[in-house]
Amino acid sequence: MSKAVVSTRIRLARNLKEYPFPIRLSADKAREIVDKVGEALKDSPLKFHRIDMDSIPDTIRVAMIERHLVSPDFISEKDGRAVYLSDDNTVSIMVNEEDHIRLQVMMDGFELDKAYALAEEVDNILSKKLNYAFHDRLGYLTQCPTNLGTGMRASVMLHLPALEMSGTVNRIGANLSKLGLTMRGLYGESTKPAGAFFQLSNQVTLGISEKAAIENLKNIANQLITQEMRVRDNLLKNIEAQDKIHRALGILKTAKLMDHSEAMKLLSLVRLGVCEKMLETLSADSIDKLIVEIQPASIMTRYGEDMSPRDRDIKRAQILTERFN
Amino acid sequence: MLCQHCKKNEATTVVKTMINGEYAEYRLCHECAHELGYDSMFPDFSADFGGLLSSFFSNALPAISGAAHCNTCGSTLNDIKRTGKVGCADCYDTFFSELMPTIRNIHGNTEHKGKRPNAIEYTVNEDKKDQTESAEDKIAALRAELKKAIEDENFERAAQLRDEIKELEG
């Protein structure tokens, strides 16, 4: 069941009282905040590494997005922005993205409670040294009013190939906003869904506690998974669907050129086949890791920054044939 | 700025994305964004927050707002409307009554529930709580009066009431 949930993410938005929000912040003041956050993190039992956005090449910045360590918005500006990463990359703290602090915890599988507990722990450590902007009535103050209150965005990455194939996903999406939830593509706002991976997250942050928002998200995620499984049962009896899944593995094993979107589509199908015990090949966990590995910038950071798209397609096909054979 | 795709309409959507491993930013109009599949999958508030704010403010009272700009960061209400972003923590107090309808519309609620930072948790005492409760009753009464003043087009009185409410809320 949890195989339909690829990963879990908790994000907390926090700002410092004595500084204007990032939209009105000078680069000097921004750097001051980066230092203060680093200072506060020294009290944490976790070890953090600081990475200044202006000190690393473009490909690494993009590769960090592909690993969900930072957001696309974060790398659009380099000056005065830095990220603190914990040793195992579970916790990432973006400084001066849309808010002064975006604390993120990411875990594999369906682990909302565990991820929130860790986020809260780090948040408590930070709040001992940092003076958070907090309003008695509006809660944690954020640059965009959509995050007021708890400042918490909890999300689960779902793999819903059957609901996507049957076209049910869009209908469900329309109803989610009524429940205070939203569903997006793989890399958050304004991204197209790739390979039937969807991010389900809470939309409302004011007037609902962290615990209640998480429970709500859990319930809806479970309902979506139940529906997905029901549709899968029917779908997989269908010889056309079976054929598609087996062909997907065949192509991954033998292709010489593989662009990114085709790879995502095929990996999504093979992941479905593996979860439903139709295929005997890599595990779902290994496929999830492979999905990150074959992203464009991740290939470039590993195999050379001057690769053309065609070079990457060749490399990608190579990686995939090696793994699946 | 004009849409970079059709070069005709005003751009309303900024797309931050990756194309073949390179970060790219595009400004598109609503139609092109939709056509190219760059609108968020489902309508949600954050994507169009600026527009949402504007639509609310156009119904607001003309020019009786007390503060023209925030004393701390210099943001005007117009800046906030245009960007959908608030300038600093104090803006929420400065433009409280102007922002409130939008906040209510986004969240369906205006009272924070949940975690509070440690430092503040200990400063709340019972006396202060009582005071804020009675202040809230008073604000509700003033709001009702304000609504009536607007209906009667008595803008001078409305402005007065609005300032009073703001003071209580601050």
* Between residues A264 and B50, the one the model is more confident about: A264
Least confident of A194-208, B64-78, B93-107: B64-78
B46/B48 Cα distance (integer angstroms): 5
B24/B5 Cα distance (integer angstroms): 14
A8/A110 Cα distance (integer angstroms): 6
* Between residues B147 and B80, the one the model is more confident about: B80
DSSP letter for each residue of B84-126: S---STTHHHHTHHHHHHHHHHHHS--S--S---HHHHTT--H
Nearest residue in chain B measured CA to CA from A18 = B89
Q: Residue A324: name the closest of A276, A269, A243 by CA.
A: A269
B27/B4 Cα distance (integer angstroms): 6
- Is the confidence at residue A147, as pLDDT, over 90? yes
Contact call for A208 and B114, based on CB within 8 A: yes
- Is the confidence at residue B21, as pLDDT, over 70? no
- pLDDT, residue B133, reads 53
Q: Tokens 């990114």 correspond to what residue?
A: A260
Nearest residue in chain B measured CA to CA from A295 = B21
- pLDDT, residue B58, reads 46
| Integer CA distances (angstroms), A132 to A85, A267, A310, in order | 21, 43, 48
Cβ-Cβ contacts under 8 Å for A56 (sequence gap 6 or more): none
State the angle between helix axes of A239-254 and A309-324 in degrees (0 to 180), rounded to the nearest 10. Answer: 110
Contact call for A184 and B87, based on CB within 8 A: no
Q: Which two tokens stand for residue B41?
A: 């999958």
Taking residues A211-230, report their average pLDDT.
94
Least confident of A32-36, A172-176, B65-69: B65-69
What element of type H or E holds A11?
A: strand A5-14
A115/B38 Cα distance (integer angstroms): 30
Is residue B134 very low, low, confident or very high in pLDDT (cuts 50, 70, 90)? low
- pLDDT, residue A5, reads 95
Contact call for B89 and A15, based on CB within 8 A: yes
Which amino acid, A165?
M
Q: Tokens 């918005």 correspond to what residue?
A: A73
A275/A240 Cα distance (integer angstroms): 18
Is residue A290 very low, low, confident or very high in pLDDT (cuts 50, 70, 90)? very high
Q: Residue A263: name the closest of A223, A322, A210, A319 by CA.
A: A319
Is residue A299 very low, low, confident or very high in pLDDT (cuts 50, 70, 90)? very high
* Between residues B165 and A43, the one the model is more confident about: A43
> Measured between CA atoms, how close is A85 to chain B, in angstroms?
21
Phi and psi for A188 in degrees, rounded to 5? 80, -155
Contact call for A207 and B110, based on CB within 8 A: yes
* Between residues A193 and A18, the one the model is more confident about: A18
> Measured between CA atoms, how close is A277 to chain B, in angstroms?
31
A228/A272 Cα distance (integer angstroms): 11
Is residue B148 very low, low, confident or very high in pLDDT (cuts 50, 70, 90)? confident
Contact call for B21 and A207, based on CB within 8 A: no
Which residues 8-37 on chain B approach chain A with CB closer than 8 angstroms? 13, 15-18, 20-23, 25, 37
Q: Tokens 């309409």 correspond to what residue?
A: B9
CB-CB contact of B116 with A209 (8 Å): no
pLDDT tens, A77-126?
889 999 999 999 999 999 999 999 999 999 999 999 999 999 999 999 99
- Is the confidence at residue A311, as pLDDT, over 80? yes
- pLDDT, residue B126, reads 40
CB < 8 Å to A144, chain B: 46, 49, 84-86
Is residue B125 very low, low, confident or very high in pLDDT (cuts 50, 70, 90)? very low
Is residue A206 very low, low, confident or very high in pLDDT (cuts 50, 70, 90)? very high
Helices marked H in chain A — which ranges?
27-41, 58-66, 112-129, 161-165, 168-176, 210-235, 239-254, 260-275, 284-293, 296-303, 309-324
DSSP letter for each residue of A90-150: SEEEEESSSSSEEEEEEEESS-HHHHHHHHHHHHHHHHHHS-B-EETTTEE--SSGGGTBT
Is residue A159 very low, low, confident or very high in pLDDT (cuts 50, 70, 90)? very high
* Between residues A129 and A173, the one the model is more confident about: A129
| Integer CA distances (angstroms), B56 to A45, A264, B81, in order | 47, 41, 10
- Is the confidence at residue B123, as pLDDT, over 60? no
Taking residues A132-159, report their average pLDDT.
96
Contact call for A177 and B43, based on CB within 8 A: yes
> Measured between CA atoms, how close is A272 to chain B, in angstroms?
23
CB-CB contact of A153 with A147 (8 Å): yes
